[in-house]
Amino acid sequence: LTTRQTPDKVTLADVASRAGVSTMTVSRVVNGLDGVGEQTRRRVREAIDELGYRPNIVARGLKASRSGTVGLLVTDITNPYFPEIVRGAEDVAFGAGYTVFLNNVLEDVEREAQALLALEDRRVDGVIACSPRLTDERLQALLLRHGAAVVVNRWAPAEVAGSVRVEHRLGARLAVQHLHALGRRRLAVLAGPEHSHAGRERLEGMAETAAELGLELPPQRLIHGQPTVEGGQAAAARLLEASTSVDALLCFNDVMAAGALQELRCRGVSVPDDIAVVGYDDIPFARMFTPSLTTLHVPTYELGMHAMRVLLDRMEGRHQQVSIVFQPELIVRESTVGAGAPGPRELARSNRQ
Give contact residues for its own copies (rule: CB under 8 A): 1-4, 6-7, 9, 52, 54-59, 61-62, 65, 67-69, 72, 77-78, 80, 82-84, 86-87, 90-91, 94, 99-104, 111, 115, 117-123, 140, 144-147, 157, 159-160, 229-230, 258, 261-262, 284-285, 288-292, 353
Q: Which is nearer to its own copies, 61 or 208 (CB)?
A: 61
Nearest-approach distance from CB 161 to DNA, in angstroms: 23
Instruction: Assess contact for 23 and 12: CB atoms under 8 A.
Output: yes
Which one of 2, 5, 6, 39 is in contact with DNA (CB under 7 A)?
Answer: 39
Nearest-approach distance from CB 110 to its own copies, in angstroms: 12
Instruction: Assess contact for 185 and 216: CB atoms under 8 A.
Output: yes
| Site for DNA contains 11 (CB under 7 A) | yes
Which one of 1, 4, 34, 341 is in contact with DNA (CB under 7 A)?
Answer: 34
For residue 87, what is the enclosing H or E element? Answer: helix 81-95
Nearest-approach distance from CB 234 to its own copies, in angstroms: 12
Query: 338 is in the binding site of which of its own copies, DNA, none (Cβ under 5 to 8 A by kind)?
Result: none
| Site for DNA contains 12 (CB under 7 A) | yes
Q: Output phi, psi for 209, to 5 deg.
A: -65, -40
User: Residue 221 carries which side chain, given as an amino acid letter?
Assistant: R
Site residues for DNA, 43-82, by CB under 7 A, read 55-56, 59-60, 62-65
Query: 159 is in the binding site of which of its own copies, DNA, none (Cβ under 5 to 8 A by kind)?
Result: its own copies
Query: 214 is in the binding site of which of its own copies, DNA, none (Cβ under 5 to 8 A by kind)?
Result: none
Which has the closest alpha carbon to 220: 186, 265, 254? 186
Question: What are 104's strand-pairing partners?
Answer: 74
Q: Which is nearer to its own copies, 61 or 195 (CB)?
A: 61
Nearest-approach distance from CB 62 to DNA, in angstroms: 4
Nearest-approach distance from CB 49 to its own copies, in angstroms: 14
Q: Which 8-state DSSP code applies to residue 293?
A: P
| Site for DNA contains 117 (CB under 7 A) | no
Q: Which is nearer to DNA, 40 or 323 (CB)?
A: 40
Query: 72 is in the binding site of which of its own copies, DNA, none (Cβ under 5 to 8 A by kind)?
Result: its own copies
Instruction: Assess contact for 55 and 271: CB atoms under 8 A.
Output: no
CA dihedral 205, 207, 208, 210 (to 10 degrees): 110
Query: What is the distance between the alpha carbons of residues 186 and 90, in angstroms, rounded to a whole number?
Result: 43
Q: Which is nearer to its own copies, 67 or 294 (CB)?
A: 67
Query: 13 is in the binding site of which of its own copies, DNA, none (Cβ under 5 to 8 A by kind)?
Result: DNA
Find all residues with CB under 8 Å of 161, minimum gap 6, and list them: 129, 140, 143, 149, 150, 151
Query: What is the distance between the alpha carbons of residues 192 and 206, in angstroms, rounded to a whole number?
Result: 14
Query: What is the distance between the alpha carbons of residues 329 and 263, in angstroms, rounded to a whole number?
Result: 26
Q: Which 8-state DSSP code applies to residue 294?
A: B
Find all residues with CB under 8 Å of 190, minimum gap 6, and list them: 223, 225, 232, 235, 236, 239, 249, 250, 251, 252, 256, 257, 260
Separation of first and last alpha carbons in the chain: 43
Query: What is the distance between the alpha carbons of residues 350 and 343, in angstroms, rounded to a whole number?
Result: 11
Interface residues with DNA (CB under 7 A) are 9, 11-13, 20-25, 27-28, 30-31, 34-37, 39-41, 55-56, 59-60, 62-65
